[in-house]
Structure 1
Amino acid sequence: MTIVLARNSPTEVVASTVGPLGELLGEARVLPFAQLAAFVAEREGRPEAERWVWSDSSRWYGDLLSAGVRVRRCHDLRLSHAILRNSTLTAHTAFARSEPTDWSLPAEPLSAHVVPAHSTLFDLGETMASGRGAANEDSVAEYRRQLMALSEVPDAGRLRLLLAAESVGALIAAEMRHAGLPWRTDVHDAILTEELGPRVPYGTRPARLEELAGRIRDILGDQSVNPDSPQNVLKALNRAGLMITSTNRWELAEQSHPVIAPLLEYKKRARLLTANGWTWMDQWIVNERLHPDYVPGGAATGRWATSGGGALQLPRQVRAAVTADPGWKLVVADAAQLEPRILAALSADTAMAAAGRGTDMYAGIVASGVVESRDHAKVAMLGAMYGATTGESGRLMPKLTRAYPRAIRLVEQAARAGERGELVTTWLGRSSPAPGEEWREAQRRASQPGANAAEESRARSRAREWGRFTRNFVVQGSAAEWALCWMGEIRNSLHAIQQRSSTPPARRAAASGAVFESIPHLVFFLHDEIIVHTPEEHADEVAAAVTEAAAFAGRLLFGDFPVDFPLGIAVVDRYADAK
């Protein structure tokens, strides 16, 4: 059964039961927000899973979790709207051709700072009634329009799978934010103290950074140098005879001067202070848990982003702080060479798929005699997917093209489409954005009679740049779809493990909240890597389930095409020990 939830007022929710075409089945039920959790819990307790339809999982689901309620399925209207609105598969439909509405606006970030994963249903009412957080159009009507658009797409199975995967991803994102990533603040503080020196008041440079700053000034013979100011440093380096144009670490690393080593060291440690220092720890770690704001579909390719907390950029320096609770373990898994394997499946290139069967794909490419070393295989493959045509990548491309013509043809066709300003589409149906106005203006100017050489060069450069984007879009976007299906199946498997278990864990993870304190649950996701926090007694079963979920995701997307999706997997106490 499908139930659409929508706000009725700042303190009320309307629950509408709808049929397969979005038609209302009976009278809608009006509930006070305070009764919503009990209503959802009662429905979730039935054997047949409900499908909840709501405007935005990030706005609705967190409060249900705080009330101890987990849902099995949902349809996220805002995320689905974005896909259906922009996909080439729906471009002919009235839905895609209609004027933009409030549903076309991205959701606002949840918060500028972390909110412990235990807000209230009253907060939900306030949020849903304000600004863009509210579904200013009727949710039932929007759901009906989306179903109509799907009905007008021939063979819409892949697109339906994408909407389901995107929606379950939104549930997982809310669950990971709620449960949080296990974190030891004492370990984090020790790491910071070792790297930076003892903690100092905000705005004060720690001792280790102050020491490096002094060395930099002494070497340059200029006590006015401020290592935190790129412009100031650049001018000082130029005065010292280093005629560089920026202070990025790649350009600095190419220079030979005594100041380079301490300057690079300063930048590395200063980055740690800024991105994951004490202020970050105070803001984002609550009850020994990191609660970041994940943004499913935050990138054009469908990859996730974060609006706060920086979970997608946890440096190796602080990963020792990610530590399982006593009596629990972390199951850490990452998909090996995911994008090349996705490319093999997308293009039905059986030779490339065979190179990775049962082995490291880059090693398999070497064993096939295509290139001389694993490094060459990796450089060549990344060049093919990201459009690097010069240097080592350019030299190796002909060999890769001869060995894997189907795969290379697919990315080349995607690149040429982008150069023409056309859209490209992932395996399940997410389409790339159109190039912007500056791109179109550059092409228009170059096509005019009397266009000069500079205008023509600029247009070609912009075209190639956009072609590199679309070349990678089809691969990266399809890899993101595989990852969503992988996580969705992991989520199902973890629930099944708990259902089969007849004994409670030896130790509860109370800081993960009532829903997750005694069951294995996902706590981290980074493109092709996940972490599950699990009671120790379930660790081996969880690891097996994570592995099988990867194979399941491959079959779900690509049927019986013979491509493997092997994992690197480890059962550890600390994230840092998994690599």
Structure 2
Amino acid sequence: MHVVLAHDPSGSVRVHDVPGAATGEARTVPPAALPAVVREAEPGGPGGTGPAPRWTWDDTSAWYAGLLAAGVRVERAHDLRLCHRILRHSSLAASSALASAPAGPWDEAPLTVAAPVGMDRAPQPDALFDLAAGAGPRSAGRPGTRRQASAVDGAEGPVAELRAQEAAVADSPAPGRLRLLLAAESAGALVAAEMRHAGLPWRADVHDAILTEALGPRPPEGRRPARLEELAGRIRDALDAPPTLNPDSHPDLLKAMQYAGVGARSLRKWELSTIDHPVVAPLLEYKNLYRLLTANGWHWLDTWVTGGRFRPEYVVGGVVTGRWASSGGGALQLPKGVRRAVVADPGWRLVVADAAQLEPRVLAGMAGDEAMASAGRDGDLYAGIVASGAVDTRELAKVGMLGALYGGTTGASAQVLPRLARTFPRAIALVEEAARAGERGGVVTTRLGRSSPPPGSDWDAAQAGAFDDEAGADAAARARSYTRSWGRFTRNFVVQGTAAEWALCWLASIRRRLWAMGVVPEGGGAQGLAPAPFADRPHLVFFLHDEVVVHAPAAMADDVADAVRAAADEAGRLLFGGFPVDFPLTVATVDSYADAK
């Protein structure tokens, strides 16, 4: 049963019991009383005699934070805004009234989200899905900031939206897949809120020691650390530049390098590494250390780590493929150099697990390619590709598979791809068909039903310009470049998006299994430093695409590792049924995150 929560104009909370799509009676409760209402209805609560209700609200991050602060966890939820975004653009719901309705309040994003790459330049594979919003598809709503109030806060708004979503799913040609996707996306929102609430264990003293070791003692505000100041002097000396040269100013630095005859046209690492000049070594070191200072330096430490916990701001579905993004703290870009600061509480351990070669395995499952699934049966899929006779070395297998996923058309990737196509025809045909769809300006859809956006207005203009009566060779070349670029986008969208769905199912299963394990047994270790309701039980603290970190009492760590593995198997079955594709994990139980790899 859905229990819909909505803001009342008076400032109270309206609680609607909604079995199926029929509106039930609504109660009005003051906000301060909501945690007690939820706690009572949850399994184990005084009134929780049946299955857990599915708490339905407009924005999990807004509603759930207050409940967690009161020590209340919910078993299930339905995030109307996240689910609306999926259904609005899914090809599986294209014929629904929800998909064809004019844009409204439910199309407003509560947080800025990442959009697919714009067509102002040809995208590079490693930047294809995580550029800032603003260069998005022609059908996407304009990203915004967290709203204070809107039409959806009315007493009937969320209930009406729930009805529309249920109708869109029921009328879909694949309702089961869409229901799983919406449930997984909503569960992911619960996980994100819980991880922010619990926090990732973080030793500020260890982080400070890491920075001091690399940069020197913490400098006064506005001053460079000692090591950066030393390198800045070496850079000036190598360029015979005045003491006023600021290596943080790229235009000034490039101008000084030009005067010195260095010959660099940019400050990219790959270009600098090809140049033989005394400035290269100190400049590369300066760039690396400056990145550490600005991304995870003392200011970051002061801002994001409090009470021994790092609490980043996750954005569920913040990337167009369904991957998560981060709107603060840089949680998805924690460099290895600072992971030594992630240390379990006394008497606790970190269980770190990551899925091996996730995207190729997902491709095998989507395509029903038994040969590729068999290649991954013994753990290392790339070694299995070599054993199949498709290629001679593991490196070629990896290069060829990445080319298939990201559209490699030159070098070793292009040479290997035909051999992979002969050995794994169904898998390679799937990504090739997705690329052709994108090149035609079409959309593609993941296993569970998340659809890609159509290309942006730049793509449209390029295609139209190529057929103009006065179009020249440049216009035709531009159109071909945009066509290939969008084909590379859709080629990987179906695989990366389905991998994100697998990861969401994995997270949901881990979350459920960890809670079922209960609290730390008597004598099994000290209570942790996380707030209630996670102080005495294992809980998720970090997630990065295909990797999770669980903070667990030491006595429960082995059982947690087993639960994480079982959850990976369950995620595979949810997406691919009985098809025999394996999702092996690398699991490590450690005191410090840095020791996991």
TM-score (norm 2): 0.91
2:190 aligns with one of 171, 175, 182: 171
Distance 1:319 1:109, change over 3 A: same
Identify the residue that residue 344 of structure 1 maps to in structure 2: 364
Identify the residue that residue 33 of structure 2 maps to in structure 1: 35
Q: Partners in 2 of 1:129 and 1:467 — Cα distance?
A: 35
- State how 1:268-347 maps to structure 2 within 5 Å: 268-347=288-367
Identify the residue that residue 259 of structure 2 maps to in structure 1: 239
Q: Partners in 1 of 2:361 and 2:346 — Cα distance?
A: 37
- Tell me if the contact between 1:107 and 1:132 (Cα under 8 Å) persists in the aligned partners: no
Residue by residue, what CA displacement relative to the aligned partner does 1:258-301 show, whole Å, maximum 9, x if unpaired?
21111111100000000000000000001010000000000000
**Counterpart amino acid of 1:4?**
V
Q: How far is the alpha carbon of 1:434 from its aligned partner?
A: 1.2
Identify the residue that residue 74 of structure 1 maps to in structure 2: 77
Identify the residue that residue 16 of structure 1 maps to in structure 2: 16
- Tell me if the contact between 2:110 and 2:147 (Cα under 8 Å) persists in the aligned partners: no
Identify the residue that residue 128 of structure 2 maps to in structure 1: none
Identify the residue that residue 438 of structure 2 maps to in structure 1: 418
Q: Which range is displaced more, 143-152 or 186-195?
A: 143-152
Q: Which range is displaced more, 389-398 or 537-546?
A: 389-398
Identify the residue that residue 231 of structure 2 maps to in structure 1: 212
Q: Partners in 1 of 2:70 and 2:199 — Cα distance?
A: 16
**Counterpart amino acid of 1:481?**
E
- Tell me if the contact between 2:246 and 2:253 (Cα under 8 Å) persists in the aligned partners: yes
**Counterpart amino acid of 1:34?**
A
Q: Partners in 2 of 1:567 and 1:72 — Cα distance?
A: 26
Identify the residue that residue 491 of structure 1 maps to in structure 2: 511
- Tell me if the contact between 1:128 and 1:134 (Cα under 8 Å) persists in the aligned partners: no
- Tell me if the contact between 2:405 and 2:431 (Cα under 8 Å) persists in the aligned partners: yes
Task: Please state whether the residue corresponding to 2:208 is helix, strand or coil.
Answer: helix
Q: Partners in 2 of 1:470 and 1:570 — Cα distance?
A: 35
Residue by residue, what CA displacement relative to the aligned partner does 1:146-185 show, whole Å, maximum 9, x if unpaired?
1111111123100110000000000000000000000000
Identify the residue that residue 93 of structure 1 maps to in structure 2: 96
Identify the residue that residue 538 of structure 1 maps to in structure 2: 556
- State how 1:377-396 maps to structure 2 within 5 Å: 377-396=397-416
Q: How far is the alpha carbon of 1:402 from its aligned partner?
A: 1.3
2:565 aligns with one of 547, 562, 566: 547
Distance 1:174 1:534, change over 3 A: same
1:59 aligns with one of 59, 62, 71: 62
Distance 1:132 1:374, change over 3 A: farther
Identify the residue that residue 132 of structure 2 maps to in structure 1: none
Residue by residue, what CA displacement relative to the aligned partner does 1:14-65 show, whole Å, maximum 9, x if unpaired?
00001212x112x200010010000000001214211100000010001100
Identify the residue that residue 116 of structure 1 maps to in structure 2: none
**Counterpart amino acid of 2:551?**
H
- Tell me if the contact between 1:202 and 1:279 (Cα under 8 Å) persists in the aligned partners: no
2:281 aligns with one of 255, 261, 267: 261
Q: How far is the alpha carbon of 1:234 from its aligned partner?
A: 1.5
Gap regions ≥5 residues in structure 2: 114-144
Q: Partners in 2 of 1:435 and 1:522 — Cα distance?
A: 36
Q: Partners in 1 of 2:281 and 2:289 — Cα distance?
A: 12
Q: Partners in 1 of 2:250 and 2:579 — Cα distance?
A: 51
**Counterpart amino acid of 1:157?**
G
Identify the residue that residue 577 of structure 1 maps to in structure 2: 595
Task: Please state whether the residue corresponding to 2:518 is helix, strand or coil.
Answer: helix
Identify the residue that residue 118 of structure 2 maps to in structure 1: none
Q: How far is the alpha carbon of 1:9 from its aligned partner?
A: 3.0
Q: Partners in 2 of 1:188 and 1:471 — Cα distance?
A: 40
Identify the residue that residue 199 of structure 2 maps to in structure 1: 180
Identify the residue that residue 547 of structure 2 maps to in structure 1: 529
Task: Please state whether the residue corresponding to 2:517 is helix, strand or coil.
Answer: helix
Q: Confirm whether residue 561 of structure 1 aligns to residue 579 of structure 2.
A: yes
- Tell me if the contact between 2:314 and 2:327 (Cα under 8 Å) persists in the aligned partners: yes
Q: Which range is displaced more, 450-459 or 461-470?
A: 450-459
- Tell me if the contact between 1:294 and 1:304 (Cα under 8 Å) persists in the aligned partners: yes
- Tell me if the contact between 1:181 and 1:322 (Cα under 8 Å) persists in the aligned partners: yes
Distance 1:256 1:560, change over 3 A: same
Q: Partners in 1 of 2:523 and 2:167 — Cα distance?
A: 46
Q: How far is the alpha carbon of 1:403 from its aligned partner?
A: 1.3
- Tell me if the contact between 2:316 and 2:325 (Cα under 8 Å) persists in the aligned partners: yes
Q: How far is the alpha carbon of 1:10 from its aligned partner?
A: 6.0
- Tell me if the contact between 1:105 and 1:132 (Cα under 8 Å) persists in the aligned partners: no
Q: Partners in 2 of 1:288 and 1:109 — Cα distance?
A: 28
Q: Partners in 1 of 2:523 and 2:171 — Cα distance?
A: 49
2:452 aligns with one of 432, 438, 446: 432
Identify the residue that residue 150 of structure 1 maps to in structure 2: 169
TM-score (norm 1): 0.94
Q: Which range is displaced more, 524-533 or 94-103?
A: 94-103
Task: Please state whether the residue corresponding to 2:542 is helix, strand or coil.
Answer: strand
Identify the residue that residue 407 of structure 1 maps to in structure 2: 427
Q: Which range is displaced more, 3-12 or 314-323?
A: 3-12
Identify the residue that residue 376 of structure 1 maps to in structure 2: 396
Q: Partners in 2 of 1:225 and 1:492 — Cα distance?
A: 56
Q: Partners in 2 of 1:400 and 1:560 — Cα distance?
A: 25
**Counterpart amino acid of 1:285?**
V
Q: How far is the alpha carbon of 1:242 from its aligned partner?
A: 3.0
Q: Partners in 2 of 1:227 and 1:294 — Cα distance?
A: 33
Q: Partners in 1 of 2:369 and 2:52 — Cα distance?
A: 39
Q: Which range is displaced more, 349-358 or 479-488?
A: 349-358
Distance 1:259 1:132, change over 3 A: farther
Q: How far is the alpha carbon of 1:366 from its aligned partner?
A: 1.4
- Tell me if the contact between 1:301 and 1:480 (Cα under 8 Å) persists in the aligned partners: yes
**Counterpart amino acid of 1:206?**
P
Q: How far is the alpha carbon of 1:448 from its aligned partner?
A: 3.0
- Tell me if the contact between 1:504 and 1:518 (Cα under 8 Å) persists in the aligned partners: no
Q: Partners in 1 of 2:66 and 2:523 — Cα distance?
A: 25
Q: Partners in 1 of 2:421 and 2:269 — Cα distance?
A: 33
- State how 1:358-377 maps to structure 2 within 5 Å: 358-377=378-397
Task: Please state whether the residue corresponding to 1:70 is helix, strand or coil.
Answer: coil
Q: How far is the alpha carbon of 1:505 from its aligned partner?
A: 4.6
**Counterpart amino acid of 2:293?**
L
Identify the residue that residue 123 of structure 1 maps to in structure 2: none
- Tell me if the contact between 2:92 and 2:174 (Cα under 8 Å) persists in the aligned partners: no
**Counterpart amino acid of 2:92?**
L
- Number of corresponding residues: 559
- Tell me if the contact between 1:343 and 1:407 (Cα under 8 Å) persists in the aligned partners: yes
Q: Partners in 1 of 2:328 and 2:248 — Cα distance?
A: 23
**Counterpart amino acid of 1:536?**
A
